[in-house]
């Protein structure tokens, strides 16, 4: 009997040790698919190296061009490819991927993170009662403006209302070299369907108290939406303070307009800020940003774009991957992001009270060639935007946007009236929703 027991224990030991070892075995590496190149994401680059050093697990990064990020990630997820552990996704995709069973829940990771978020910021990360993503690199919609032009215009404070903005825009729209052609425009924004024009319009709708997706109860053809879209269409077609080609502009054209000094104001995300004090920029130290001016009868609002980290359900190193997500998305991680990746936004307002955010290291200022005064003004304005961020949630949001945005562009282009464009958008979006 004793012999049998000893034998059984020996077998258990032999079989058990490798099994136990396998469960806790460190992976040789984690693989992260990033949105774009790491050179544009110094925050996550810094933190993956630091976490890798602390844990002895390097995090390899696939730098995936954003245009094909969705396709590549979805292909990996749907084929249950375990070679990629972590993915920098888009908040619009999280719920659909979670519903399809591609993502690992992150409730344990988010337990101490979610309570720090501003109200509603976790809307798009949840499906049912479970979290499937953690906010990482975030940006808010702001209006960039030229401080030197504003001064010439005779004001020290930026336009806060839509009408003030139009007046400043009219003044700034000029033929500077006298060749009969306008070479400085009042307002520039992205207008082409595949870019953030839809987010600009949605922000204006939110200002007026309207909404679009409403948890899939689409309400795009509303008085608020009509007023919002008409306001922005008027900049180009009625007041002529936006370039005629603004309906073909994407983010790169907005950046070009800013850097070349051919725009007094630009609506865009905060990522451009880190490039505007470069040697080659015509508006070096002559710019700032502020919340989008408010339409008459509205209240300030802002919207965000985020690249939350998600965990592939097929990953074989879930615990380590979760640990990195927590490291990156936690309060401390977000402080690092804000300090070392200028223009990135923390959805935790307390981050902006941190001493290191208010008084950043010289190296952080040098990277963006910024004075502490300019840094603090810009961060304070980001905080202002964070406090009024409104995020809506919808399933199939990416697909809905592909129906919504071209119609907004059609109105901006003057092909359709605002009413017709919104009515067509609503019809198409509802049609897409019928499949849910």
CB of 249 to other proteins, least distance (A): 8
Helix (H, G, I), strand (E, B) or coil at 137: strand
Query: Looking at 113, 254, 257, 394, which residue binds other proteins (CB under 8 A)?
Result: 257
Candidates 44-52, 135-143, 169-177, 247-255 — which segment interacts with other proteins by CB under 8 A? 247-255
Please enumerate in sequence order all residues whose Cβ is within 8 A of that of 400, keeping only pairs 6 or more positions apart, or say none: 213, 218, 394, 429, 432, 433
- Least spacing, CB of residue 248 vs other proteins, in Å: 4
Q: Which two tokens stand for residue 302?
A: 């802002």
- In this structure, what token pair is assigned to residue 9? 């224990």
Cα 378 to Cα 376: distance, rounded to the nearest angstrom: 5
**Is position 371 an interface residue for other proteins (rule: CB under 8 A)?**
no
Q: Can you tell me which of 2, 3, 181, 362 binds other proteins, judged by CB under 8 A? A: 181
264 close to 152: Cβ distance less than 8 angstroms:
no
Question: What's the helix, strand, coil split of the chain in %, to 5?
Answer: 50, 15, 35
Is 153 within 8 Å of 168 (Cβ atoms)? yes
Between CA 255 and CA 233 the distance in angstroms is 21
Residue 102 as a binder of other proteins (CB under 8 A): the answer is yes
* Exposed / middle / buried, residue 347 (Cβ in 10 Å: 0-12, 13-18, 19+): buried
Among residues 124, 202, 207, 262, the one that binds other proteins under rule CB under 8 A: 262
Identify the residue among 21, 56, 115, 180 touching other proteins (CB under 8 A): 180
Report angle CA 184, 189, 194 to the nearest 5 degrees. 140
Instruction: Indicate whether 275 belongs to the interface with other proteins (CB under 8 A).
Output: no
Interface with other proteins, residue 74, by CB under 8 A? yes
128 binds other proteins (CB under 8 A): no
Q: Residue 289: enclosing H or E segment and its boundaries? A: strand 287-290
What are 95's two structure tokens?
A: 């719920």
User: Segment 11-70, which members bind other proteins (CB under 8 A)?
Assistant: 70
Segment interacting with other proteins, rule: CB under 8 A, options 110-118, 192-200, 201-209, 321-329: 192-200
Q: Distances from the Cα of 50 to the Cαs of 155, 355, 356, 417, in angstroms?
A: 46, 21, 18, 53
Q: With CA atoms as reference, report the closest residue to 60 among 85, 77, 35, 90.
A: 85
Which region, judged by CB under 8 A, interacts with other proteins, from 185-193, 280-288, 318-326, 340-348?
185-193
Look at the alpha carbons of 410, 411, 412, 414 in this order and tell me if their dihedral is positive or negative.
positive
Return the SS3 of 189. strand
By CB under 8 A, residue 248 contacts other proteins = yes
CB of 194 to other proteins, least distance (A): 4
Cβ proximity to other proteins: between 193 and 205 the closer is: 193
Q: Counting contacts by CB under 8 A, is residue 281 touching other proteins?
A: no
> Which of these segments, 136-144, 176-184, 268-276, 311-319, binds other proteins (CB under 8 A)?
176-184
| DSSP secondary structure code for residue 103 in this structure | B
If binding is defined by CB under 8 A, does position 301 make contact with other proteins?
A: no
260 scored as a contact of other proteins (CB under 8 A): yes
Site for other proteins in 393-422 (CB under 8 A): 396, 398-399, 402-403, 406-407, 409-410, 412-413, 415-416
Residues at the interface with other proteins (CB under 8 A): 70-71, 74, 78-79, 96-97, 100, 102, 179-181, 183, 185, 192-194, 243-245, 247-248, 250, 253, 256-257, 260, 262, 396, 398-399, 402-403, 406-407, 409-410, 412-413, 415-416, 428, 431
């Amino acid at each position: 009997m004793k012999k049998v027991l000893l034998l059984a224990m020996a077998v258990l030991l032999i079989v058990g040790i490798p099994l136990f070892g396998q469960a806790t075995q460190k992976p040789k590496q984690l693989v992260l698919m990033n949105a774009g190149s790491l050179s544009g994401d110094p925050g996550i680059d810094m933190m993956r190296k630091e976490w890798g050093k602390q844990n002895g697990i390097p995090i390899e990064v696939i730098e995936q061009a954003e245009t094909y990020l969705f396709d590549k990630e979805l292909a990996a997820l749907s084929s249950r490819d375990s070679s990629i552990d972590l993915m920098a996704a888009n908040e619009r995709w999280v719920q659909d991927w979670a519903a399809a069973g591609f993502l690992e829940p992150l409730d344990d990771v988010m337990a101490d993170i979610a309570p720090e978020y501003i109200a509603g910021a976790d809307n798009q990360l949840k499906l049912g009662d479970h979290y499937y993503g953690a906010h990482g690199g975030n940006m808010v919609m702001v209006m960039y403006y030229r401080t030197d032009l504003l001064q010439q215009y005779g004001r020290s404070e930026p336009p806060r209302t839509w009408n003030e903005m139009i007046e400043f825009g009219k003044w700034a729209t000029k033929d500077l070299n006298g060749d009969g052609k306008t070479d400085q425009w009042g307002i520039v924004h992205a207008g082409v369907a595949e870019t953030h024009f839809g987010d600009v319009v949605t922000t204006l709708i939110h200002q007026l108290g309207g909404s679009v997706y409403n948890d899939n109860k689409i309400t795009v053809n509303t008085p608020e939406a009509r007023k919002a879209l008409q306001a922005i269409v008027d900049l180009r077609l009625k007041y002529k303070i936006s370039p005629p080609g603004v309906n073909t502009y994407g983010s790169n054209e907005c950046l070009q307009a800013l850097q070349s000094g051919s725009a007094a104001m630009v609506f865009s995300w905060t990522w451009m800020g880190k490039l505007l004090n470069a040697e080659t920029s015509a508006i070096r130290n002559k710019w700032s940003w502020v919340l989008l001016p408010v339409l008459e009868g509205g209240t300030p609002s802002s919207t965000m774009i985020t690249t939350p980290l998600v965990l592939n359900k097929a990953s074989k190193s879930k615990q380590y991957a979760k640990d990195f997500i927590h490291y990156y998305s936690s309060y401390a991680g977000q402080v690092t992001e804000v300090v070392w990746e200028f223009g990135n936004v923390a959805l935790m307002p307390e981050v902006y009270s941190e001493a290191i955010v208010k008084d950043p290291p010289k190296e952080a200022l040098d990277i963006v060639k910024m004075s502490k005064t300019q840094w603090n003004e810009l961060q304070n304005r980001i905080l202002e935007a964070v406090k009024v961020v409104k995020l809506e949630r919808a399933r199939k949001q990416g697909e809905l946007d592909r129906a919504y945005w071209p119609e907004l562009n059609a109105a901006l282009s003057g092909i359709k009236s605002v009413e017709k464009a919104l009515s067509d958008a609503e019809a198409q979006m509802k049609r897409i929703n019928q499949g849910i």
